[in-house]
Amino acid sequence: MSTLGHHREMSDEGPGTYGTQRKAAARNRQAIIDAAHELFAENPLVPLSEVARLAGVGAGTLYRHFPTRDDLTLAAYQHDIERLTATADEVLERHTSAKAAFVEWFETLAGYIRIKHGLGDAMHSAAVQDVVEASWEPTAAGVKKLVDACRAEGTIAAGHDPRDIIMLMSFLWRVAPTDEGVAQGRRLIATVFNGLEAPPS
């Protein structure tokens, strides 16, 4: 409503006081994300106070940037998720068979989840369900490319929603990180693929 103000400083990209403060704030934000990314990988339930300590900021600063733990979790893994999405294109280019690309991509995802325990657990926990929902949106686009290629190839029937397929792969978060678990994951991916040959009911 006010027609006056100090908007100039707010949008000033130069070394003004606010600009420096905003840059410091951005640096803090990134430091928190980096610290969370490192610590969550080891233990998704790590106290946020430790994240703040590693990031070198006060507890209040962490809460200012990320009001809930979920917000921080999403931010911490967003980059990883984006990279994973990009992989879909690359894998498709490398294979002549779309089915092989599909299987490889999901096996890569399986390995990814296996190593990044934190990511797997965090995405799986009921508490961050909403965050997962939001962050899988771009991944769904990657899966859609794989599915479309398989459909064109005739190995997957028409009508399967990429979101359905991601759901079908839920077991990937539950298989044990052992040799047996790896084999089971591979087996189950193949079984799911098999089920996709017929159209959905």
Binding a copy of itself (rule: CB under 8 A), the pick from 4, 126, 158, 179 is 126
Binding DNA (rule: CB under 7 A), the pick from 12, 18, 121, 157 is 18
Give the ranges where the chain is alpha helix by DSSP (H): 7-11, 17-42, 48-55, 59-65, 69-94, 98-115, 117-124, 129-153, 162-168, 179-195
Segment lying near DNA (by CB under 7 A), choices 65-73, 75-83, 141-149, 153-161: 65-73
Residue 155 contacts residue 98 (beta carbons within 8 Å): yes
Instruction: Say whether residue 193 binds a copy of itself (CB under 8 A).
Output: yes
Instruction: Say whether residue 25 binds DNA (CB under 7 A).
Output: yes
Instruction: Say whether residue 54 binds DNA (CB under 7 A).
Output: no
Concatenating the DSSP letter of every residue in 10-24 gives HH--SSSHHHHHHHH
Instruction: Say whether residue 14 binds DNA (CB under 7 A).
Output: no
Segment lying near a copy of itself (by CB under 8 A), choices 46-54, 80-88, 146-154, 181-189: 181-189
Binding DNA (rule: CB under 7 A), the pick from 16, 24, 127, 178 is 24
Nearest to 157 by CA among 189, 201, 94: 201
How many CB atoms neighbour CB 16 within 10 A?
A: 13
Give the binding site for DNA (CB under 7 A).
18, 21-22, 24-25, 28, 47-49, 56-61, 63-65, 67-69
